């Protein structure tokens, strides 16, 4: 699959994960980029046996569109969107690079944990408004 097709596929999956219609507004909606990483055989280094290693990543932008993340219900919904995006990104990488590490579950957990730092900052800011 060409790089262009991959970008189109990634955008399609991201749109499905984020869901909902995007409406133009003057107020920017909080959003978080969820980035998943996998190590595959291309070159960022070499294993002890000389096999080349590459780190690939895939990121989805998750919007809080339609949510009031200053409330507990809105915050949980935003966190679920981020978690779903992490799972989708890691599953996509797992399909493309089946022998990559870590596993889909470990990849999703790491991507979610990293993104939740920004999510919690946005939720705290929304609560203080």
**Domain edges within the chain:** 3-127
The continuous run of DSSP H or E covering 84 comes out as: helix 72-96
How do residues 27-39 score in pLDDT, each as one tens digit? 567 888 887 766 5
How do residues 94-113 score in pLDDT, each as one tens digit? 998 888 888 999 999 999 99
Q: Is 106 exposed, middle or buried (0-12, 13-18, 19+ CB in 10 A)?
A: exposed
Model's pTM, two decimal places? 0.67
What is the mean pLDDT of the segment spanning 47-64? Answer: 80
Classify strands 31-46 and 52-63 as parallel, antiparallel or unpaired. Answer: antiparallel
pLDDT: which is higher, 52 or 2: 52
Task: Provide the percentage of residues in the chain whose pLDDT is more than 70.
Answer: 67
């Amino acid at each position: 699959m060409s790089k262009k097709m991959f970008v189109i596929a990634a955008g399609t999956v991201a749109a499905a994960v984020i869901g909902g219609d995007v409406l133009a507004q003057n107020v920017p909606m909080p959003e978080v980029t969820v980035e998943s990483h996998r190590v595959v055989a291309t070159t960022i280094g070499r294993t002890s046996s000389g096999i080349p290693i590459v780190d690939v990543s895939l990121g989805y932008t998750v919007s809080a569109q339609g949510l009031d993340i200053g409330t507990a219900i809105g915050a949980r919904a935003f966190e679920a969107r981020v978690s779903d995006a992490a799972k989708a990104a890691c599953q996509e990488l797992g399909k493309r690079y089946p022998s990559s590490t870590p596993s889909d579950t470990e990849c999703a957990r790491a991507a979610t944990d990293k993104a939740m730092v920004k999510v919690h900052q946005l939720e705290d800011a929304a609560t203080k408004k």
